[in-house]
Structure 1
Amino acid sequence: MTAVPQLDYQHGFAGHHQTEAEAGALPKRQNSPQHAPLGLYAEQHSGSAFTEPREVNRRSWSYRIRPSVAHTAFRERPERIGWESAPLAGGITSPNRLRWNPPPVPAAGVDFLDGIRTFATCGDVAQRTGVGIHWYTASASMTDRYMVDADGELLIVPQTGPLLVLTEFGRLTVSPGEFAVVNRGVRFRVELIGSHAAGYVLENYGATLTLPELGPIGANGLADARHFRYPVAWYEDREEPVELWQRFGGRWWSVELDHSPLDIVAWHGNHAAYVFDLDDFCPLNTALWDHPDPSVFTVLTSPGPRPGQPNMDFAVFGDRWVVAEDTYRPPHFHRNQMSEFMGLVRGSHDSKAEGFVPGGASLHNQWSAHGADRETFDLATGADLAPQKLTGSLPFMFETRLALSVTDTAMGAGHRQPDYDSSWTGIERRFRR
């Protein structure tokens, strides 16, 4: 397997970073001096409205070889490939429990963009609410093609194979067990490190992802800001024909450029891209009996219009101790106002004996009853409740307050499990008077 490149990073979530790939490229005082250093062009990237509160304001100043305005008109792409946006033209919003096996390995020559297929969406991309949930499979690097999502920020969760994500603001490597976020409107391309790659993509149409409030937890726990890694400045000085694909208004548009759009030589700010190693997440759990709700495993959140009802939460269930006494330890039988999409990077899920495998996925829409299958229930109710450490497993959840509509592609996929409901067949009446 090809070695993962060792890159330099800056640390700190949404902090004000500053970096230059060439000495003297970053102005020391003014953001837009009359003459930017080294003959570069100053350009601001505003990831939020100008007057949003400081704690949620996102913006970066860049100093680049050419300004982004240097292009001809975009044209709408006639092909739809596999990427769909909310609201769906087809699809179904279903109360049924759904589960998928991993998608098949793609044919040769399929890059990250061509290999994306949409599971489900909710909300309305034009109203900046809701999410799109996709999977990707790729067997080739993006070379002469770049992409940018103006509809949402992208949270990429690799399951098989590491990726090299080359962005305007620098390069990130992201491997299974990590995730990367490319902020809205940031141009990038993806190279493979190895023969093929697969994983999941969350497209967040709503409020920018941020760290959840800790409330009574206090100052420490969950994801620490210092563990988020932002790229240092890096650029392509490449003058040859390339293509830029832009997601805008739920459609793909493209334009031909005579240069690479990744030509930022220096930048400062907090609107860029970042990566996080999920082994750095500090989980919290019960110290006596019962167990906390899955919200305590939230890594990042996109706040919704009502407190406590997020547009989207990203939660992870990695290695942790389970010590509760007199408690049913797997996730309990449950019906929920929130919609839950589950993915699995490695290992197994502690409420599923079989059927939910790495690279697979499940969807439990609002109020869909779910929980342990019969085998897991029987094992859990008969288990010796000694302290136990759960290791080697990495399930995660995309949770949203909105009902998810499943695409026709996902419903008709050959790797969807049509008999998922059979997981609960044979649960017996146990009531005794």
Structure 2
Amino acid sequence: MTELTYLTGFGNQHSSEAHPGALPIGRNSPQRAPHGLYAELLSGSAFTAPRVDNQRTWMYRRQPSVVVGGYEPLAHPRWKSGAAQGECASPDPLRWGPTPLHDDGDFVDSLRSYAVNGEPGLHGMGALAYVASHSMGRRALVNADAEMLIVPQQGRLLITTELGRLEVAPGSIALLPRGMAFKVDPLDVPARGYVCENYGAAFRLPELGPIGSNGLANARDFEAPVAWHEQEEGDYQIVKRYGGRLWRATQAHSPFNVVAWHGNLVPCRYDTSRFMTINTVSFDHTDPSIFTVLTSPSDTPGWANVDFVIFPPRWMVAEDTFRPPWYHRNVMSEFMGLVLGQYDAKPEGFKPGGASLHNSYVPHGPDTEAFDKASNADLKPHKLDATLAFMFETRWPLKPTAWALHEAPLETTYARCWQGLKDEFKA
């Protein structure tokens, strides 16, 4: 495979060209673009958005995106969008075993929605699983409803976008802008993982406040691809997510025909091992917000539309402290997945490739085994290693889908993990 190289820096202005002289100098849209290319702008924000929030990328391509046939509906019964396509939000804690490694086709065909809220294109999110067994070939996906965050759990992926290619392995994530064409090909078969559809404001790095100028995810560690264009000719099927439904059309050329580009609306890759974890060095277990990698703000300050949070390897040193997460009921709804190893609050039942959902104000916390172990541990410094869990956290309740409730490996006895917590009060 051709070696891939990357630009770095989240939200930075980048430029790249696959052919010398393909990028115009001093003009965004000259009367005639170099080498007979077409200038095309992809905007991720309103034209008049403040400069710091304005997202757009100029592309110089062999044929523009308007050259496409008419769209027709495409059925996909297990990919849901928005609260209207979910079942009733549940007050029960929910947990699923690993998604079975069946041959479910390519990335698009294999997508399955666990839970949804909000409204596509406006606010909210969807949590999905994929098990990709085949290349997408001459097929591309354009999600006009949502930004897509891909979290591989098993198997490497080659993600081809209009701006270039990204190779993404478990332990890394890929962030794909709303409205940009891409395809996902498994380099290891089958490839399994998770996806967050973000219908609201684009993901950004959280503010650091008293932490200061350094810490958590550093902007320079996010990698954007260099320009690359597909040489092979032939028809392409364009699958479009629009208005909470899927559509398809055929065009006679590849959508991956951008020879040069510049801007700050770019796909990117992030290696979670570069996350600078911050935790207590005295006592008490800090709020999980300290592990936020990316945030999509809502119209209420501090109440995120979606937060992407990770629990990576880290040292535990707190004194006289119950070190796992405490029992809690939270205004935020928490969808959790496990990429690697064990999660410290659920040492046995929570498996890599599985998922859990604790909706807003649904009580949850360590199971009986984790509570007993943590309550009686000799509190020496120790490192949680070979582990990676994550959360998609959202301010609105998530509605499980029919697939999640009736077809996915739902653990109907999950709540029993707390039944061993007895009344030990001693007056």
Q: TM-score, normalised by structure 2?
A: 0.98
Q: Choose which of 67, 77, 80 in structure 1 pairs with 2:76.
A: 80
Deviations 1:160-208 (A, max 9, x none): 0000000000000110000000100010111110221000000000000
Moved over 4 A (4+): none
- Answer yes or no: is the 8 Å Cα contact 1:81–1:114 preserved in 2: no
Partner residue of 1:55?
52
Q: Choose which of 106, 109, 116 in structure 2 pairs with 1:111.
A: 106
- Answer yes or no: is the 8 Å Cα contact 1:12–1:225 preserved in 2: yes
> In the alignment, is residue 291 of structure 1 matched against residue 285 of structure 2?
yes
Q: CA deviation at 1:414?
A: 4.5
How many Å separate the matches in 1 of 2:314 and 2:197? 28
Q: Choose which of 264, 273, 279 in structure 1 pairs with 2:267.
A: 273
Task: Give 3-state SS (helix, strand or coil) of 1:151's partner.
Answer: coil
Counterpart code for 2:63: R
Which sits farther off after the overlay, 390-399 or 68-77?
Answer: 68-77
Partner residue of 2:407?
413
Which sits farther off after the overlay, 49-58 or 308-317?
Answer: 49-58
Which sits farther off after the overlay, 333-342 or 232-241?
Answer: 232-241
Counterpart code for 2:55: R
How many Å separate the matches in 2 of 1:131 and 1:153? 9
Partner residue of 1:98?
94
Partner residue of 1:232?
226
Q: CA deviation at 1:354?
A: 0.9
How many Å separate the matches in 2 of 1:241 and 1:54? 38
Could you say what the CA RMSD is over the residues aligned between the two structures, in angstroms? Answer: 1.1
Partner residue of 1:130?
124
Counterpart code for 2:54: N
Q: Choose which of 57, 66, 86 in structure 2 pairs with 1:69.
A: 66
Matches within 5 A, 1:325-344: 325-344=319-338
Counterpart code for 1:101: G
How many Å separate the matches in 2 of 1:414 and 1:393? 24
Partner residue of 1:223?
217
Query: For structure 2, which runs of at least 5 residues remain unmatched after alignment?
Result: none
Task: Give 3-state SS (helix, strand or coil) of 2:108's partner.
Answer: coil
> In the alignment, is residue 246 of structure 1 matched against residue 244 of structure 2?
no
Matches within 5 A, 1:11-410: 11-77=8-74, 79-107=75-103, 110-126=105-121, 128-410=122-404
User: Percent identity over the alignment?
Assistant: 50
> In the alignment, is residue 429 of structure 1 matched against residue 426 of structure 2?
no
Q: CA deviation at 1:144?
A: 1.5
Query: For structure 1, which runs of at least 5 residues remain unmatched after alignment?
Result: none
How many Å separate the matches in 2 of 1:61 and 1:72? 23
Q: CA deviation at 1:338?
A: 0.4
Which sits farther off after the overlay, 227-236 or 84-93?
Answer: 84-93
- Answer yes or no: is the 8 Å Cα contact 1:353–1:376 preserved in 2: yes
How many Å separate the matches in 2 of 1:55 and 1:350? 39
How many Å separate the matches in 2 of 1:315 and 1:89? 25
Counterpart code for 1:113: V
- Answer yes or no: is the 8 Å Cα contact 1:160–1:197 preserved in 2: yes
How many Å separate the matches in 2 of 1:123 and 1:365? 14
Matched residue pairs, number?
427
- Answer yes or no: is the 8 Å Cα contact 1:5–1:173 preserved in 2: no
Q: CA deviation at 1:92?
A: 1.8
How many Å separate the matches in 2 of 1:389 and 1:5? 38
How many Å separate the matches in 1 of 2:223 and 2:159? 13
How many Å separate the matches in 2 of 1:292 and 1:49? 37
Counterpart code for 2:381: P
